[in-house]
Amino acid sequence: MTPTPDPETAAPDDLPVVRLKPKANARAIRRGFPWVYADELVTDRRTKALAPGTIARLEDAERKPLARVALNPNSRIIARVLDRDGRGIPDHDWFVARLKRALALRERLYDTPFYRLVHAEADGLPGVVIDRFGDTAVIQPNAAWSDLLIAPLAHALAEVTGVTTILKNAGSRGRSLEGLDDTDIVLAGAAPEAPVPVDMNGATYMADLTGGQKTGLFYDQRENQAFAARLARGQDVLDVFSHVGGFALAALAAGATRALAVDASAPALDLARAGAEAAGAGERFETRQGDAFDVLTALGAEDTRFGLVICDPPAFAPAKPALEAGLRAYERVARLSAPLVAPGGCLVLCSCSHAADLATFQGACLRGIGRAGRRAQLIHTGQAGPDHPLLPQLAESGYLKALFFRL
């Protein structure tokens, strides 16, 4: 058996070759689809023996070249497309080129260095997420190839952006699906000892880059939080599943009368309060820790009403097997939150579930609102911000949905 070439040193001609099965959709790959599933690839003994992260040449069933791919024989997504011109290989110059292209977009979008710098497949780095927090960047290498090449990726990242601290976050669900570890590492500089303040939408957020959820802050809701803030002026606001106060703090910055943030995590609510106080809005900000469904039920019993209610839960349907249960959970959120909205007020319902498309999610929300005895106008539909670009060929990249209803 031929030894597996080292992807850091192998010349393109030295790369192993893998081939699609005759019934696999080679046309989809040529048109931009970035994944090959395990049942689409010829997986003989040689292919199965390739190490996770191996870079290979992909051919169609007729042996015509398709792309350079990164392999993981242990994953359902057995190959991820890296380069369609058939020549590129992920070395230092390749990383620099991809990162420069990603950075150019973000610098056109934002005046401050706080954004998602790399959004995986849409930025040509499949499985890789990089969030920037000023001079610090957090990398989530959620595919085997990027975990193997984390050192040259980090080196290129420092060169392109000038960040001095780079952290590897290994806590994502995707890493477990790839058979990767969950060990966080400091790749450059020193991990921040305190939360990093992030100015966004006129508010100050405290991002815990080492102990918080995901990379420390959810940048994807930036545009939706800004739209919600327009509806919050002069209103009492309820932010459920608030994390570090994403919607509540933006609402306070826009002139909300007061805001109540609800979350199960006490540390997240502590960060939310610190953000409110940093912005001088501490006196208008309250928190309530507990299970969101229990708190919504309790607020309903208290006959409390708000001019704006936002519910931004975690992914109830992260994959198709969980879809039906997830839709029931979204319907329940809508049913419990709708009665808390004052007449003429607004309800914002969000989903980050890949498996629930927009129409299906909207249907669940409307069933819940209807069962609460309310009628709704849909006034706006939001998605992830432009630093989370959508790859049109990959439906999963359009995961975030935000529905703005007037009740």
Q: Indicate the residue among 153, 188, 223 that finishes a domain.
A: 188
pLDDT digits (tens, 9 = 90+) for 300-330: 999 899 999 999 999 998 888 889 999 999 9
What DSSP element (H or E) covers 28?
helix 26-30
Residue 171: per-residue pLDDT: 87
Asked whether residue 4 carries a pLDDT value surpassing 80, the answer given is no
Angle CA(9)–CA(13)–CA(19) in degrees, nearest 5? 110
Q: Are residues 105 and 178 in the same domain?
A: yes
Structure tokens at 254: 């826009």
Q: What pLDDT, on the 0 to 100 scale, is given for residue 329?
A: 96
Give me the domain span that covers residue 256. 196-406
Q: Are residues 262 and 370 in the same domain?
A: yes
- Smallest CA-to-CA distance from 49 within 7, 2, 12 is with 2
Give the pLDDT mean for 132-137.
98
Please give the pLDDT value at position 52.
Answer: 96
Position 173 scores a pLDDT of 84
Residue 2 has pLDDT above 70, yes or no: no
Domain assignment present for 260: yes
In this model, does residue 63 exceed pLDDT 50?
yes
163 token code pair: 């960040």
- The pLDDT-based confidence of 10 (bands split at 50, 70, 90) is very low
Average pLDDT over residues 179-194: 95
Percent of the chain clearing pLDDT 70 (strictly above): 97
- Among 188, 218, 233, give the residue marking a domain's end: 188
Tokens 């005046």 found at: 111
Could you tell me the pTM of the whole model? 0.92
- CA–CA separation, 272 and 250 (whole Å): 11
Confidence of residue 1 (pLDDT cuts 50, 70, 90): very low
Q: Do 136 and 256 share a domain, yes or no? A: no
Asked if residue 3 is part of any domain, the answer here is no
The domain that holds 102 is classified in CATH as 3.30.750.80
Per-residue pLDDT, averaged over 380-402, amounts to 93
pLDDT > 50? residue 5: no
Q: Which residues contact 58 (CB under 8 A, 6 or more apart)?
A: 17, 18, 19, 20, 29, 36, 65, 66, 67, 68, 69, 79, 81
Distance CA 15, CA 89 (A): 10
Residue 142 shares a structural domain with residue 73: no
Q: Say what the pLDDT of residue 13 is.
A: 61
Q: For 328-383, write each residue's pLDDT tens digit.
A: 999 999 999 999 999 999 999 999 998 899 999 999 999 999 999 999 999 999 99
Residue 342 in domain: yes
5 in a structural domain: no
For residue range 88-116, what is the model confidence (pLDDT) as tens digits? 889 999 999 999 999 999 999 999 999 99
Whether residue 2 is contained in a domain is answered as: no
Residue 364 shares a structural domain with residue 246: yes
The strand pair at 236-240 and 258-263 is best described as: parallel
Average pLDDT of 204-230? 94
Choose among 94, 214, 213, 211: nearest CA to 159: 94
Decide if 346 is catalytic.
no
pLDDT of 8 above 70: no
Polymer length in residues for the chain: 407
How many helices (DSSP H) and strands (DSSP E) are in the chain? Answer: 12, 19
User: Which of the four pLDDT bands, split at 50, 70 and 90, describes residue 237?
Assistant: very high
* Of 320 and 242, the one with more pLDDT: 242
What's the pLDDT at 319?
Answer: 83
Looking at the fold, whether 266 and 370 belong to one and the same domain comes out as yes
Q: What gap in Å lies between CA 258 and CA 305, rounded to an integer?
A: 12
Residue 11 has pLDDT above 70, yes or no: no
Residue 208 lies in a domain: yes
Q: What is the CATH number of the domain that holds 267?
A: 3.40.50.150
pLDDT average, residue stretch 185-214: 94
User: What was the pLDDT predicted at 204?
Assistant: 96
Q: What is the mean pLDDT of residues 58-67?
A: 95
Examine the fold and report which residue of 83, 105, 127 is the final residue of a domain before the chain moves on.
83
Cα separations (Å) of 113 from 80, 162, 310?
Answer: 29, 11, 27
Q: Which of 311, 346, 350, 352 is catalytic?
A: 352
Phi and psi at residue 193, to the nearest 5°: -85, -15
Residues 357 and 305 in one domain: yes
**Could you tell me the CATH number of the domain that includes residue 46?**
2.30.130.10
* Shared domain check, 75 and 122: no
> Which residues face 205 on adjacent strands?
198
Judgement on whether residues 184 and 268 belong to the same structural domain of the protein? no
Percent of the chain past pLDDT 90, that is, above it, reads 88
- pLDDT (average), residues 81-88: 84
Looking at the structure, do residues 73 and 24 belong to the same domain, yes or no?
A: yes
**pLDDT band at residue 398 using 50, 70 and 90 as cut-offs:** confident
Beta strands in 17-93 (DSSP E): 17-19, 35-37, 55-59, 65-71, 77-83
